[in-house]
Amino acid sequence: MVLTREAVSPRAILVPIGSEVVSGNVVDTNSAYLSRELTQLGFEVIQHLAVKDEAFLIREVLEEALGKADLTITTGGLGPTFDDITKEVLTGISGQPLIFNPAQFRHIQDYFRKRKRRLHKNTRRQAYFPRGSRIFPNRFGVAAGIGLEKEGKWLIALPGVPHEMEGLFKTEIAPFLGSHFGKFKTVAVINAKIIGLSEVEAVERMGARFPPADENIQCGIYPSPGEATLRLTFRTSDRKKAGSLVRFWSKTLRSKLGDYLISLTGESLEEVVGKLLAGRRQTVALAESMTGGLVAKRLTDILGSSRYVRGGDVVYCDQIKNSVLGIDKKTLSRYSAVSPQIAGLMAQSSRAKFSSDWALSVTGNAGPGSQGGQPVGTVFLGLSGKNTRLVKKCFFAGTRERIRWLASQAALNMLRLALLNG
Amino acid sequence: MVLTREAVSPRAILVPIGSEVVSGNVVDTNSAYLSRELTQLGFEVIQHLAVKDEAFLIREVLEEALGKADLTITTGGLGPTFDDITKEVLTGISGQPLIFNPAQFRHIQDYFRKRKRRLHKNTRRQAYFPRGSRIFPNRFGVAAGIGLEKEGKWLIALPGVPHEMEGLFKTEIAPFLGSHFGKFKTVAVINAKIIGLSEVEAVERMGARFPPADENIQCGIYPSPGEATLRLTFRTSDRKKAGSLVRFWSKTLRSKLGDYLISLTGESLEEVVGKLLAGRRQTVALAESMTGGLVAKRLTDILGSSRYVRGGDVVYCDQIKNSVLGIDKKTLSRYSAVSPQIAGLMAQSSRAKFSSDWALSVTGNAGPGSQGGQPVGTVFLGLSGKNTRLVKKCFFAGTRERIRWLASQAALNMLRLALLNG
């Protein structure tokens, strides 16, 4: 949900090129990356136009984009194989032939030599560029970026491999764009992550004066499973003003959203929980049934998590809950594995076993059928701490993947709240 | 890498609508899903045209799409908030006003009542549709799909929430398209998943006669971290011929790719391992250090995995490897945790502890610094079975996320090969 419109900014259109994108074999993540970066630089991205590897279609799309936008960036189609035709299309648009660039060819030879890979005969094609174009050297691969100016507008072609494209953008393209379009610079962005409120509820909490009626502040709120992101973009070329805007809005978000606010910088729930644990020099252990390792996986996704993750158990059947966590067989059959009692015992037992400050447990039913009388989507969470014994019941609808994800979200948030308030 | 071009088919263009997409706050996965499904139905998807929530831009894009394609599908912009303007644009295109549909309003009321949620005043907007349009009921949410015919071409608007869009596509749109565009039907697709070979190596193994010079067989190969997908699409309206093509190519792929072939139907590595275990009525346990639960998470992503996943341990520090898996402290300090010896002991100990047929272990260094003399990216895998004691050393480059993913891939593949050959 877009909350406010943005000020007039230079407009950009992104053109991912490749049949693998339009056939659905590859999800285009490049455009989302470039959109975020370009927004930070002060551009307004108005379209993504993915197109298959067919020269006349690509040319049509690029000419349309040049008509509408100040900046057009293509990704893909700069490789050595027959379906890489972006450069041929560029020559059509610029009216300039491809000419050989010896410096780029040396770079390509070096690149292959260092990696002890043989140079395919087609690779020489990658050292040709439209005459008069600007070449952006690629330190991360072979395909250099290409810039063409046409009637004051820029068309830039980048390679499609995400890490090459991102590296090239950061090192070469962003500085170039900054020098050309610098006066529109966006100085600051707040990415507020929210848990436990719907989009509408979060906006309601912000009060009637939100979103602010300032065309230089752009607001939007975007849901994803189990959380929402409220994004504020401040467009100003005055660094001081940007700083004070960020401070003011950070304070406002904190006071209005309270514990529903996970972070202001887009930090994930697992990063925030990790920082809280590390800051308190405390540790955590996990006892997971229905999430099958997902909570442990998320916590250990974070660099440095060995400081606070002691370990965990995946206890996927009753027998294992007994043998690994030492939960009494009679208790298990009395309450059934999907019960508040067992969630509580799992957390307590895990905390004792791993000698950790905290232990978090998840037991529930992710399907297919009902289990111990509990319908699909029922989840019990347990949290054990020095002075804490909590059990929470949740219910989630949707697919197995979604139910497991939402259970991991709720479990991590339970620990976050205990750390904040403990 | 596209290997062959496709035959002439009805053309489709996808139009994801929403500023959250073009601003990069949301990655558009809907278009990849729809592209795959439409390809199976016999369409050739030529473009994805993502556009921000601005009526004149959307209209421009839709009119352009209607000019080029036989079928245009929009996703998003059917919700109740002010920036949901797809329907308004449709009225502009069809020249028909929005009219109230009582049956759809009852569906919306029921939907909210069942979920005990209050009906927002804006929700009534979702029961209005352009006069004369075809309504596709949405069992998965509130926003129905809308179909407009214009000069023999179809424009279909679907909601943007992925699980609603997918459900609606499967239940309503695919059958509708089948009945309208049936004669171009693609009868078959092979999605060969490959592990352990690069794109180029896989194509080389297929031999000089591959890809086949038949315009009704489209081939492409697409890499993703730790695997590749070789996709063959057979376009024919003759079901018998399609069957024999699939049998012939399945056999060819099996003989040329051998154990590098994970599946022919796009089944994931964890699904294949799960089926092998279930088929042999065997069970597995995990002992994970650097993957921190990722292998267990992947195996338990699969419905019915409780039949063969006994459980697992996340042993994230030496002390836990000792207390939880019973690995001797002296052995740990002699070899260090990242060593073939410890990988082997972890697997053996896990198998004994969980009384499983197999146990898989992962220990390694995902960063930041070197660990016990082992550089970042070093991974040792252990596999213990009735007659099996294997340890494997791997080295992976890249980010922490990538190293962990590749380690989980290699571990699951080690188990797959043992199951196949054991």
**For A345-402, how does the pLDDT look when each residue is reduced to its tens digit (9 = 90+)?**
999 999 999 999 999 999 999 887 777 778 899 999 999 999 999 999 999 988 899 9
Q: A108: which DSSP letter?
A: H
Give me the mean pLDDT over the A243-262 stretch. Answer: 95
Name the B residues in 382-421 with CB < 8 Å from any A CB.
400-401, 404
Whether residue A6 is contained in a domain is answered as: no
Q: Is the pLDDT of residue A256 over 80?
A: yes
Other CB atoms within a 10 A radius of the CB of residue A270 amount to: 20
Name the A residues in 133-162 with CB < 8 Å from any B CB.
none
Query: How far apart, in whole angstroms, are the C-alpha atoms of residue A291 and residue A306?
Result: 21
Could you tell me if B52 lies within 8 Å of chain A, comparing CB atoms?
Answer: yes
Based on the structure, what is the number of domains in chain A?
3
Q: Where are the alpha helices (DSSP H) in A280-339?
A: 294-300, 318-323, 329-335
Nearest CA in chain B to A84: B1
Residues of chain A found within 8 Å of residue B309, distances taken between Cβ atoms: 292, 314, 316
Q: Please, are residues A390 and A382 in contact by the beta-carbon 8 Å criterion?
A: yes
Minimal C-alpha gap between A245 and chain B (Å): 21
In this predicted model, what pLDDT tens digit does every residue of B270-310 receive, in sequence order?
Answer: 999 999 999 999 999 999 999 999 999 999 999 999 999 99
- Do A162 and A109 share a structural domain? yes
Nearest CA in chain A to B54: A46
Name the B residues in 165-224 with CB < 8 Å from any A CB.
220, 222
B315, exposed or middle or buried, with CB in 10 Å at 0-12, 13-18, 19+? buried
- Do B257 and B280 share a structural domain? no
CATH code assigned at A244: 3.30.70.2860
Minimal C-alpha gap between A354 and chain B (Å): 7
Query: How far apart, in whole angstroms, are the C-alpha atoms of residue B310 and residue B355?
Result: 8
**The last residue of a domain, from among A263, A280, A313:** A263
Residues in chain B with pLDDT < 50? none
Could you tell me if A15 lies within 8 Å of chain B, comparing CB atoms?
Answer: no
Whether residue B2 is contained in a domain is answered as: no
Q: Please, are residues A422 and A388 in contact by the beta-carbon 8 Å criterion?
A: yes
Minimal C-alpha gap between B291 and chain A (Å): 7
**The last residue of a domain, from among B263, B297, B320:** B263
Stated length of chain B: 422
Provide, rounded to the nearest whole percent, the portion of chain A with pLDDT above 90. 66
Query: CB–CB of A1 and B83 under 8 A?
Result: yes
- Residue A178's identity, in one-letter code, is G
Phi, psi for residue A16 in degrees, rounded to 5:
-70, 130
Of B39, B34, B36, nearest to B16 by C-alpha is B34
- Do B249 and B289 share a structural domain? no
In this predicted model, what pLDDT tens digit does every residue of A1-23 receive, in sequence order?
Answer: 666 665 568 899 999 998 889 98
* For testing contact with chain A, the best of B6, B25, B31 (most A CBs within 10 A): B25
CATH code assigned at A378: 3.90.950.20
Minimal C-alpha gap between A298 and chain B (Å): 8
Pick A222's closest partner by Cβ from B25, B304, B305: B25
Q: Is the pLDDT of residue A211 over 90?
A: no
Whether residue B3 is contained in a domain is answered as: no
Of A196, A244, A208, A202, nearest to A220 by C-alpha is A202
- Do B213 and B275 share a structural domain? no
Could you tell me if A367 lies within 8 Å of chain B, comparing CB atoms?
Answer: yes
Name the A residues in 230-249 with CB < 8 Å from any B CB.
231
Phi, psi for residue B4 in degrees, rounded to 5:
-140, 155
Residues of chain B found within 8 Å of residue A35, distances taken between Cβ atoms: 22-24
Minimal C-alpha gap between B300 and chain A (Å): 6
- Do B222 and B118 share a structural domain? no
Minimal C-alpha gap between A214 and chain B (Å): 18
Query: CB–CB of B305 and A292 under 8 A?
Result: yes
Residues 6+ apart with CB under 8 A from B402: B225, B396
- Do B81 and B15 share a structural domain? yes
pLDDT at residue number A2 = 66
Task: Categorize the per-residue pLDDT at A116 as very low, low, confident or very high, splitting at 50, 70 and 90.
Answer: confident
Query: CB–CB of B313 and A315 under 8 A?
Result: no
In the numeric block, the tokens 């994230």 are attached to B316
Could you tell me if A306 lies within 8 Å of chain B, comparing CB atoms?
Answer: yes
Lowest mean pLDDT among A197-206, A314-323, B152-161: A314-323
Could you tell me if A59 lies within 8 Å of chain B, comparing CB atoms?
Answer: no
Pick A25's closest partner by Cβ from B16, B222, B316: B222
Q: Please, are residues A383 and A418 in contact by the beta-carbon 8 Å criterion?
A: yes
Residues of chain A found within 8 Å of residue B303, distances taken between Cβ atoms: 367-368, 400
Phi, psi for residue A287 in degrees, rounded to 5:
-130, 105
- Residue B286's identity, in one-letter code, is L
Task: Categorize the per-residue pLDDT at A227 as very low, low, confident or very high, splitting at 50, 70 and 90.
Answer: very high
Query: How far apart, in whole angstroms, are the C-alpha atoms of residue A329 and residue B253?
Result: 49
**Token pair for residue A332?**
């298990």
* For testing contact with chain A, the best of B39, B118, B314, B321 (most A CBs within 10 A): B314
Minimal C-alpha gap between A134 and chain B (Å): 26
- Do B171 and B24 share a structural domain? yes
Query: How many CA atoms lie less than 13 Å away from A267 in the CB half-sphere?
Result: 15
Residues of chain B found within 8 Å of residue A61, distances taken between Cβ atoms: 47
Query: How far apart, in whole angstroms, are the C-alpha atoms of residue A275 and residue A273?
Result: 5
- Do B318 and B208 share a structural domain? no
Name the B residues in 268-287 with CB < 8 Å from any A CB.
286
CATH code assigned at B130: 3.40.980.10
Minimal C-alpha gap between B247 and chain A (Å): 23
**Token pair for residue A146?**
């290409």
Strand ranges inside A175-326, DSSP E: 186-194, 217-224, 227-235, 261-263, 284-288, 309-315
Range of the domain at B367: 269-421
pLDDT at residue number B369 = 77
Of B316, B315, B291, B313, nearest to B407 by C-alpha is B291
Whether residue B126 is contained in a domain is answered as: yes
pLDDT at residue number A7 = 57
In this predicted model, what pLDDT tens digit does every residue of B206-215 receive, in sequence order?
Answer: 988 888 888 7
User: b/e map of A219-249 (b: 16 or more CB within 10 Å)?
Assistant: bbbbbeebbbbbbbbbbbeeeeebeebbeeb
Minimal C-alpha gap between B98 and chain A (Å): 22
Pick A324's closest partner by Cβ from B47, B299, B311: B311
Chains A, B: CB pairs < 8 Å = 259
- Residue B374's identity, in one-letter code, is Q
Query: How far apart, in whole angstroms, are the C-alpha atoms of residue B147 and residue B42?
Result: 19
pLDDT at residue number B4 = 66
Q: Please, are residues A115 and A69 in contact by the beta-carbon 8 Å criterion?
A: no
Mean pLDDT of chain A: 91
Could you tell me if B59 lies within 8 Å of chain A, comparing CB atoms?
Answer: no
pLDDT at residue number A363 = 96
> Rounded to the nearest 10 degrees, how much is the dihedral formed by the CA atoms of B319, B322, B328, B334?
-40
Residues 6+ apart with CB under 8 A from A395: A377, A378, A379
Minimal C-alpha gap between A196 and chain B (Å): 15
Could you tell me if A108 lies within 8 Å of chain B, comparing CB atoms?
Answer: no
Whether residue B305 is contained in a domain is answered as: yes
- Do B175 and B48 share a structural domain? yes
Residues 6+ apart with CB under 8 A from A333: A318
Whether residue A311 is contained in a domain is answered as: yes
Q: Please, are residues A34 and A173 in contact by the beta-carbon 8 Å criterion?
A: no
**Prior bond of A368 cis (ω within 30°):** yes
Is the pTM higher than 0.90?
no
Query: How far apart, in whole angstroms, are the C-alpha atoms of residue B252 and residue B306?
Result: 34
Q: Please, are residues A94 and A134 in contact by the beta-carbon 8 Å criterion?
A: no
Give me the mean pLDDT over the A68-93 stretch. Answer: 91
**The last residue of a domain, from among A263, A285, A300:** A263
Pick A23's closest partner by Cβ from B39, B79, B291: B39
Task: Decide which of B214 and A246 is more confident.
Answer: A246
Minimal C-alpha gap between A44 and chain B (Å): 8
φ/ψ bin of A143: left (φ > 0), alpha (ψ from -120 to 50), beta (otherwise): beta
Of A118, A122, A162, A121, nearest to A140 by C-alpha is A162
* For testing contact with chain B, the best of A14, A21, A48, A82 (most B CBs within 10 A): A48
Could you tell me if B309 lies within 8 Å of chain A, comparing CB atoms?
Answer: yes
Whether residue B6 is contained in a domain is answered as: no
Whether residue A86 is contained in a domain is answered as: yes
Query: CB–CB of B320 and A310 under 8 A?
Result: yes
- Do B277 and B238 share a structural domain? no
pLDDT at residue number A183 = 61
Q: Where are the alpha helices (DSSP H) in A221-268?
A: 239-257
- Do B240 and B100 share a structural domain? no
- Do B160 and B133 share a structural domain? yes
pLDDT at residue number A198 = 86
Q: Has the ipTM of the complex gone over 0.85? A: no
Nearest CA in chain B to A306: B316
Query: CB–CB of B306 and A294 under 8 A?
Result: no
